[in-house]
Amino acid sequence: MCGLFTLTTLLSIAPAFGSWGDIQEPAAAAATAAEVEFFEARIRPVLVERCYSCHNSSKRAKGGLVLDHRDGIREESDTGTAVVPGDPERSMLLKVVRHEIEDLEMPKDGPRLDDEVVADFERWIRNGAQDPRDAPPSATELSALTSWEATLARRKLWWSLQPIRAVEPPPSAWSDHPVDRFVESELEGRGLARAGPADRRTLIRRLSFVLTGLPPTPAEIEEFLADDEPGVTERWTDRLLASPRYGERWARHWMDVVRYADSHGSEGDPAIPNAYRYRDYLIRAFNQDVPYDQLVREHLAGDLLAAPRIDSERGIDESAIGTAHWRMVFHGFAPTDALDEKVRFVDDQINVFGKAFLGQTISCARCHDHKFDAISQKDYYALFGIFASTRPGMQDVNAPAMQALHQERLGGLKLEIRAAMAAAWSRELAVDAGARKVLPSSSPPSLPSPSLDGDSVPNARRWDLGSAAGMAEWFPTGNGLRAGQAGAGAFAVLAEGERVLAGIYPAGIYTHLLSTRHRGVLQSARVALDGEYEVWFQALGGGGAKLRYVVQDYPRGGTVYPITELQNATWSWHRLDLSYWNGDSVHWELCTALDAPVEAGGGERSWFGLRQVVLRRKGAGPPAADPDPLASLPADRGAAWIQAAIDAWARDTATDAQALLLDACLREGRLANTLADLPEVAQLVARYREVEAQVPLPTRVPGLLEGDAADQPLFLRGDHRRPGELAPRRFLEAIDAEPYATASSGRLELAEDLLRADNPLPARVIVNRIWHHLFGRGLVATPDNFGKLGAAPSHPELLDYLAQRMVERGWSIKDLVRFLVASKTWQLDSAPPDGALAADPDNVWLSHARVRRLDAEAIRDALFVAAERLDPNMYGPGFGADTATPRRSVYVTSRRNELDAFLAAFDSPVPFATTGARASTNVPAQSLAMLNGSLVREVAEQWGTSMRADPRFATDRLRLAHMFAAVTGRTPEDGEIQALAAYLEACGAGVRADRQRREALGARLVFDATVLESVLRPVRARLRAAASSAAAPAGPAPFARWDFRESSRDTVGALHGVLHGTARLADGGLLLDGSGHVSTPPIAPALAEKTLEAWVRLADLDQRGGGVVTVQGLRGNVFDSIVFGERIPRRWLAGSDGFRRTEDFGGSDESLAGDAAVHVAIAFDADGRIRGYRNGEPYGEPYRKAALVPYKAGDSQVLFGLRHGSPAPGRMLRGVIVEARLYDRALSAEEIAASAAASGVVSRAAILAALDEPARRQVILLEAPVAASRAELADLGEPAGEDEPWILVAHALFNLKEFLYLR
Amino acid sequence: MPALFPSRRDLLRRTSTGFGMLALSGLMARRPEVARARHVIFCFMSGGVSQVDSFDPKPELERLHGQPMPVSIARTQFNDNGNVMASPFRFRLYGASGIAISSLFPELGKVADELAVVRSMTSSVNEHAQGNYLMHTGFPFMGHPSAGAWANYGLGSENENLPGFVVLQSGGAVAPHGGVGLFSSGFLPAHHQASIVAADRQPAVRNIVPGLGDAAQRRHLELIGRFDRDFAARTADPQLEAAIHNYETAFRMQAAVPEVCDFSGESEATRRLYGFDATEPSKAAYARQCLLARRLVERGVRFVELSCITKNLGAGGAPNPWDQHSALEAGHGAMAFQVDQPIAGLIQDLRARGLLDETLVIWAGEFGRTPFSQGADGRDHNPFGFSIFLAGGGVRGGTVYGRTDELGYRVVEDRCDVYDLWATVLHQLGLDHKRLTYRYAGRDVRLTDVHGEVLTGILA
């Protein structure tokens, strides 16, 4: 009775599908048979699975407890008696599984048993603990029971791994729709009532949000309601499915599944370049209804498909883009343990792969076999081997024809150019025929190979990219490398300029032989470093091409991951020290500028060439350099040698040495290489360049590059320092344990295995995901986990019916969506029928529609739709977080370290793992974002303002009704419109009252301030006069000085200011309104250390980034400036190009400069130290970030009101510059203090001190009301305009729950 | 509070998502014995403080100064390893317990008898972002809940008008490397995530300042409430009532946050104690954080994390101020000057107010620094052994726990890691770290992963 067969048979009916509610409570004596059956079905499997391995008769009996037979389980052990038949309370087994005894929580190392399982045990014990296990199992039996094979066999019986069954929907009087028939049968069986159908307004709103993520406009609602032809809902479903908005909505759902991100996180948070193209691919794919099986294939191996989807209109290979999601992993910064980092990011890939496509938590099997599911540790490393056999990289998804476009023509033109040049050179050299005859023996000696002598380390190696054999261990990708190796004499024609040839090259591999618009990534096989090495590359390149070693596929640069930029057009050896990475696995990588996997940079045109790579013991020194070809020319026969090389080159038979000789001749001017000197090739070159300019630029997308594939050893207990046996690359053994016979990674095979007919998971998982998005909760409530710890399916037959239907109908997602929303179940009203809330609080049985809060993107998008401002432009790079840019939220950039705060508040997921079901929380941060946040306010302002003046509406009531409908989807009732109208009126009254209050305050302020000023002015004037006369000798002498109270002339030298734009002299200085600035002629002498000084009043303290006074190079790209509020609001800053010399001083926020001029000075010391001063006192802390910039004589100038360069928003100051000075040295703190004092900055304290006691009291008395009025005015904020009441209505409407929730 | 909102009691009665509701797992994790601490103040020393220059004196370094390291050196992040470098700071024994503290922290020396110094902390990663994630969440990458979120999840809120997990910033401080994800609730419910509060500027909290005057906002909320009540009645869905309740909470937060951030009621003596008006701006800014931390704790906030302010010395940028790959003496000197008095003041103030017993203060960075130099005068990252300290909250003051080797390079005794730290902190909060779990993606996930031993050796 205790054989495995019986057990598994029972188990197969036991799990989730099975309901044991129909077992009757047995009468204690008579029902033994039923109790035994209960034991077999409910108790024994748990004991075997969760207890036997530690508590058995053969090997281990932890705590002296044996649970594998009847006597054992009833025996008294160290801690009591496990099972006392009939007495649950005295049974220790129950106590420990209930976790009632500290440090004896069982089962160990796993979650608690489910409450139902515990209840089963309690019932079993209470009913006498019937136990047919007379004897302990033998060691063989036990190991058969507890071995992985037996465990796997048991676990394969789990519901989600069972074949999809063909099921007939049960009959129903209510509906013919199969979905309804399954649902009805469950409702009926449970005696649950059902809600009525939703009204049509509710329906169109629901349909629109669920399908497109956007609300219907009031006009669309009316159109829908006016259509009373049959099939209206189906027609609107089709219309919405055909809308491009559908793809934007459903792409976002899938982006949650693959944890879409635009950056890698961690220190530096570098961008994943071009990640957005994957987002666009998803949008197109959903809109085109690309079948799901095809999407799966593309996600696994879209770059490897024999017949990819080519979008001929865009000229791209769509399929290849699907692989970009593999790159959305988190990467650390310069990890010292590169293998640890690799294990981490491959684990991330496996985690997402398993959850996304299979609903399996494969990642749980990294350290040991899965605790609950049919996944072994070997499964984990089998998949690890597949993904780790690829490398993170950049791919070009241009269609093959695009990648090859014009290559043939360019190749043909090159031959013509070569012939023409050879002819021209020959004419010029004029080597006579006699000499030419003896030429074959007159050529330079062949080149020596770099010696490996002296490398006693056995692994010293050389790769010769010039020989066919040398390419065996390299993986070239990109159209620049498509032609493979080039023989000696390869050459490149320059795409612009007076010169014709870029160079003539020896045999090697090159990306630019046809065009620098071509790209290339050249990677080597892996090299295991077993000692201290250095590697040498004989390479050339330009335009930002990169060279590096890659450790354990880590894609970033930084500290111990150097990246060399190739900036040499002639051959040189580049050395990289590898000794740090002793013991690790590395490979070499050269790539064109934008083709680095991360931190790519540079222009579109770049190129490289590579001849040799030499790996040798560290310190062995450089391989031999090429001999100088011109130096070795024999004096008497030099021309002949050159001529021989020309002839060979023209015949395509040049040797490496001849190619180098010709190249040297080009560089040294021994052979003509300019259009002027080669009139006969000019026309050919012009044609060449014309064609070359039409070579399409690559469309780069992150992806995986295939390299040398290898099986992965298991890591014992997940420790990457302890490799175990190899796990051959293959799929999960629960489906198929056959290793892949492939030299590639195995991704193609994996894709096909995923989709094979006997793998039921992908269909079930995707059907459930779609159901989840349509109904708000999956038939399996845990869409990413179909394992033991996931939820059981509420309607398993329905799930299978839908899965089968989907496969049969070609995996069409739109077809399934259309089918589901056509059901009466989907169209139910959301009001729960009587008793439903009590009987089924989670609405598992679908008696009514689920009320859902809109998700984050839908809320943000709906704001713009309601305001009629949504920008429908699709695709392209994302836009910055938290802006009121009216594009759909799917296009918001997802930077891991600065996720959009608004979207995050509404539960947009953190992109680190598959999120098939978002949380839907209620937190005050959401209320605050809606009530006080800038996004909602800005959209409300735009909407309210436009509505107030909207000519479509004759009356305010019509306006209000429209706004209400735009937000809620329904017409307001009378009471509602009255409430809105009353609110509008009240707001209008509020605005009027506010205006009156302001006017009164303003008048009082003017009066009080005038009185106060009349007391202060004479004192201030007196103090200023005294100070200026006293301090006249004390102030440091400026190099230039502008007193804008008088003029813009330099009162010291000749740097007279010229006014531009709206800049003018007014309000006691240089008045700048954001559209004007002042510049000076060039500063004659060189300028290094210096001090900038200004007295400035600001128009407002919240402006950002305007420059007060600047010294800049004449081109405007290098500068030092006094800048206000650029990095941090209200802070003074020493501005500089690219912030190269800029740090926050850490000074206090400016609070005075709005009311009165403040004195600001920045001193630039010779050692690069920068000191800030405000009103004569140090401002924050000095710092040194970079060296001082010296400006050359005659090459710099001074600007006022403009940070640098030419006028642009964000650089312009708004305020009044009273006076400014430039010093050609760094003033000391004392000098700056003296200057501030001498200039007439008269402090309040000084004035008060100068007054007699009654006057002082008077001033203090007068100051109070002035300050109070100012404070009150400040409190009132910006005066509200006429639009304010409408803005407030719009804002209130956005805050309605009826806006945020979908019924 | 506007009358239009239902009372809190009504709400809790009617919904299952009330604010103060405690997670079931939180209840499960509660230990029968009384918690020692109710609050945590986490002074995070972002960038990595050198143990041999702060709390772990190593005379051997002076003997070997300038000589090659006598033991093999593991990979360092910059691979610019120099010779043994003695500490430029002098150590002294402080307090009755005689804890050795360097001249960087004279003020902390005055409260030495409150400190439990752990000299045997280790990390498993050697770079900032992952180290920060490990330190905050127990996992070296983004996505997991921060310790503050776990504490709130386990214990619930004491003051529903203030967030339970607060990260303080001032003086231009920013989130450490890794970003605000370090303070995330991860997969825990969102209300456990940290709110970032600026201790020195307005608004202190994002979106906290109403765009409308008081009367206008009331009018606004009344209108919204009128519609919302109707809508909630029509739909009969409990989540709507919870959402309405959130408006009530948000409304009160608008007043509660400015109140707690208003220092005007603090005495001159208190301000002096913290260095609130220090002339050195970063010290004054950090003092604001410390004083605000006390005010928050007084009002029931569960977990407060403080942020250091960069001095731009030796690679210590805004996210990693202590990261002195060069100019260690100047950089550590300036950073220690910034935090020494404010933290010592905080400990004394908490003690004086009787709050120290129930408030656990943690001082730690993400790793230590090498005992050998990087370049001429810096130190590289060292995860193999570094010092942290705890104070208050039932910790046994005057304790030194664990030991590194003679060079201060690797732990040789009582090795512990971040899991032990958080196991201990949760223990003091009355939570069992093994039971404080959240089922996420098929796993019952813990702050301490599958590790963690309570450091009983430092507990009273």
Region of poorest pLDDT, from A109-118, A753-762, B218-227: A109-118
Q: Tokens 């050198």 sit at which residue?
A: B50
CB atoms within 10 A of CB A1294: 24
C-alpha B136 chain-centroid distance: 8
CB neighbour list of residue A730: distance below 8 Å, 6 or more residues apart: A382, A736, A737, A738, A739, A740, A746
In this complex, do B250 and A931 lie within 8 Å of one another by their Cβ atoms? yes
* Helix, strand or coil, per DSSP, at residue A903: helix
Of A784, A789, A1288, the CB nearest to B220: A1288
Enter the tokens of residue A844: 């598992």
Of B201, B210, B242, the CB nearest to A1149: B201
How many CA atoms lie within 13 Å of B274's alpha carbon, on the beta-carbon side?
24
Of A267, A790, A1301, the CB nearest to B127: A267
Using a CB-CB cut-off of 8 Å, the residues of chain A touching B180 are 897-899
Of A1146, A1288, A1291, the CB nearest to B172: A1146
Instruction: Using pLDDT thresholds of 50, 70 and 90, give the confidence band for residue A6.
Output: very low
What is the predicted pLDDT for the residue at A438? Answer: 47
Asked if the model's pLDDT at residue A25 lies above 70, the reply is no
What would the pLDDT profile of A1055-1108 be if each residue is shown by its tens digit?
Answer: 999 999 888 887 778 989 888 899 999 999 999 999 999 999 898 888 889 999
Min distance B100 CA to chain A CA atoms (Å): 31
Q: Give pLDDT tens digits along chain B (460 positions).
A: 333 333 333 433 333 333 334 555 566 677 666 679 999 999 999 999 999 999 999 999 999 999 999 999 999 999 999 999 999 999 999 999 999 999 999 999 999 999 999 999 999 999 998 999 999 999 988 889 999 999 999 998 888 889 899 999 998 899 999 888 899 888 888 788 888 999 988 788 888 888 888 888 999 999 999 999 999 988 888 788 888 888 888 899 999 999 999 999 999 999 999 999 898 989 999 999 999 999 999 999 999 999 999 998 988 988 999 999 999 999 999 999 999 999 999 999 999 999 999 999 999 999 999 999 999 999 999 999 999 999 999 999 999 999 999 999 999 999 999 999 999 999 999 999 998 999 877 778 999 998 999 999 999 9
ipTM at complex level: 0.82
Mutate to test the interface with A, among B14, B142, B320, B446 (most CBs of A within 10 A): B142
CB neighbour list of residue A808: distance below 8 Å, 6 or more residues apart: none
Backbone angles phi, psi at A1212, to 5 degrees: -95, 140
C-alpha A1006 chain-centroid distance: 54
Q: Tokens 């036991």 sit at which residue?
A: A14
CA distance A542 to A900: 38
What is the predicted pLDDT for the residue at A444? Answer: 65
Rank A433-442, A934-943, A1275-1284 by mean pLDDT and report only the highest.
A934-943
Min distance B41 CA to chain A CA atoms (Å): 23
Instruction: Using pLDDT thresholds of 50, 70 and 90, give the confidence band for residue A8.
Output: very low
CB atoms within 10 A of CB A173: 7
Chain B residue closest to A269 (CA)?
B178
Using a CB-CB cut-off of 8 Å, the residues of chain A touching B443 are 361, 364, 789
Using a CB-CB cut-off of 8 Å, the residues of chain A touching B245 are 922
Of B142, B251, B318, the CB nearest to A896: B142
CA distance B386 to A1047: 63
CB neighbour list of residue B248: distance below 8 Å, 6 or more residues apart: B1, B2, B5
What would the pLDDT profile of A203-223 be if each residue is shown by its tens digit?
Answer: 999 999 999 999 999 999 999
What is the predicted pLDDT for the residue at B25? Answer: 54
CA distance A1142 to A1121: 10
In 3D space, the residue among A1087, A1207, A1074, A1189 whose CA is nearest the CA of residue A1135 turns out to be A1189
Of A348, A364, A580, the CB nearest to B75: A580
CB atoms within 10 A of CB B324: 31
Distances from the Cα of B215 to the Cαs of B180, B211, B254, B385, in angstroms?
A: 35, 12, 14, 58
In this complex, do A785 and B442 lie within 8 Å of one another by their Cβ atoms? yes
What is the predicted pLDDT for the residue at B15? Answer: 35
Query: What is the average pLDDT across A1237-1257?
Result: 76
Of A361, A1144, A1185, the CB nearest to B442: A361
Query: What is the average pLDDT across A53-62?
Result: 83
What is the predicted pLDDT for the residue at A1287? Answer: 96
Using a CB-CB cut-off of 8 Å, the residues of chain B touching A372 are 442
CA distance A1109 to A1161: 10
What is the predicted pLDDT for the residue at A526? Answer: 95
Element (H, E) at A400: helix A400-404
Cis peptide before A107 (omega within 30 of 0): yes
Distances from the Cα of A232 to the Cαs of A229, A245, A934, in angstroms?
A: 6, 20, 40
CA distance A1152 to A1128: 17
Q: Are A197 and A824 in contact (CB under 8 A)?
A: yes
Query: What is the average pLDDT across A789-812?
Result: 96
Region of poorest pLDDT, from A342-351, A477-486, A1018-1027: A1018-1027
Using a CB-CB cut-off of 8 Å, the residues of chain B touching A920 are 239
Q: Are A1210 and A1105 in contact (CB under 8 A)?
A: yes
Chain A residue closest to B309 (CA)?
A1146
Asked if the model's pLDDT at residue A1280 lies above 90, the reply is no
Task: For chain A, say whether B77 makes contact (Cβ under 8 Å).
Answer: yes
Region of poorest pLDDT, from A123-127, A567-571, B348-352, B381-385: A123-127
In this complex, do A1143 and B312 lie within 8 Å of one another by their Cβ atoms? yes
| Structure letter (DSSP) for residue B459 | B
Query: What is the average pLDDT across A1162-1190?
Result: 90
Residue of A62 and A590 predicted with greater confidence: A590
Asked if the model's pLDDT at residue A17 lies above 50, the reply is no
CA distance A807 to A356: 18
What is the predicted pLDDT for the residue at A875? Answer: 97
Asked if the model's pLDDT at residue A1033 lies above 60, the reply is no
Chain B residue closest to A788 (CA)?
B442
**Residue pairs spanning A and B at CB distance below 8 A:** 248
In this complex, do B177 and A333 lie within 8 Å of one another by their Cβ atoms? yes
Using a CB-CB cut-off of 8 Å, the residues of chain B touching A899 are 180-181
Mutate to test the interface with A, among B207, B234, B249, B449 (most CBs of A within 10 A): B207
Buried b (16+ CB within 10 A) or exposed e, A323-344: bbbbbbbbbbbbbbbbbbbbbb
What is the predicted pLDDT for the residue at A20? Answer: 37
Min distance A1034 CA to chain B CA atoms (Å): 27
In this complex, do B246 and A1128 lie within 8 Å of one another by their Cβ atoms? no
Q: Are A105 and A94 in contact (CB under 8 A)?
A: no
In this complex, do A332 and B130 lie within 8 Å of one another by their Cβ atoms? yes
What is the predicted pLDDT for the residue at A2? Answer: 38
Cis peptide before A1178 (omega within 30 of 0): no
Asked if the model's pLDDT at residue A906 lies above 50, the reply is yes
Chain B residue closest to A345 (CA)?
B141
- Alpha-carbon Rg of chain A, whole angstroms? 39
In this complex, do B207 and A1291 lie within 8 Å of one another by their Cβ atoms? no
What would the pLDDT profile of A176-207 be if each residue is shown by its tens digit?
Answer: 999 999 999 999 999 999 999 999 999 999 99
Task: For chain A, say whether B254 makes contact (Cβ under 8 Å).
Answer: yes
Burial group, residue A4, by CB count within 10 angstroms (0-12, 13-18, 19+) = middle
Using a CB-CB cut-off of 8 Å, the residues of chain B touching A1149 are 201
Using a CB-CB cut-off of 8 Å, the residues of chain B touching A266 are 127, 129-130, 141, 177-178
Asked if the model's pLDDT at residue A471 lies above 80, the reply is yes
Chain A residue closest to B15 (CA)?
A841
Burial group, residue A977, by CB count within 10 angstroms (0-12, 13-18, 19+) = middle
CA distance A887 to B425: 46
In 3D space, the residue among A539, A557, A532 whose CA is nearest the CA of residue A615 turns out to be A532
Of A334, A364, A905, the CB nearest to B442: A364
Of B219, B242, B246, the CB nearest to A986: B219
What is the predicted pLDDT for the residue at A18? Answer: 35
In this complex, do B224 and A1296 lie within 8 Å of one another by their Cβ atoms? yes
Find residues 157-176 of chain B whose CB sits inside 8 Å of chain A. 171-172, 175
Residue of A923 and A939 predicted with greater confidence: A939
**Percent of chain A predicted with pLDDT > 90:** 62
Residue of A1271 and A503 predicted with greater confidence: A503
Orientation of helix A244-257 relative to helix A232-242, angle to 10°: 70
Using a CB-CB cut-off of 8 Å, the residues of chain B touching A1133 are none
CA distance A55 to A53: 6
Q: Are B233 and B220 in contact (CB under 8 A)?
A: no
Asked if the model's pLDDT at residue A31 lies above 70, the reply is no
CA distance B100 to B56: 7
In 3D space, the residue among A295, A274, A272 whose CA is nearest the CA of residue A283 turns out to be A295
Task: For chain A, say whether B184 makes contact (Cβ under 8 Å).
Answer: yes
CB atoms within 10 A of CB B268: 9
Instruction: Using pLDDT thresholds of 50, 70 and 90, give the confidence band for residue A16.
Output: very low
What is the predicted pLDDT for the residue at A1134? Answer: 95
Using a CB-CB cut-off of 8 Å, the residues of chain A touching B186 are 910
What is the predicted pLDDT for the residue at B213? Answer: 83
In this complex, do A266 and B177 lie within 8 Å of one another by their Cβ atoms? yes
The pLDDT mean for chain A works out to: 89
- Assign 3-state DSSP to chain A and report helix, strand, coil percentages, each to 5: 40, 15, 45
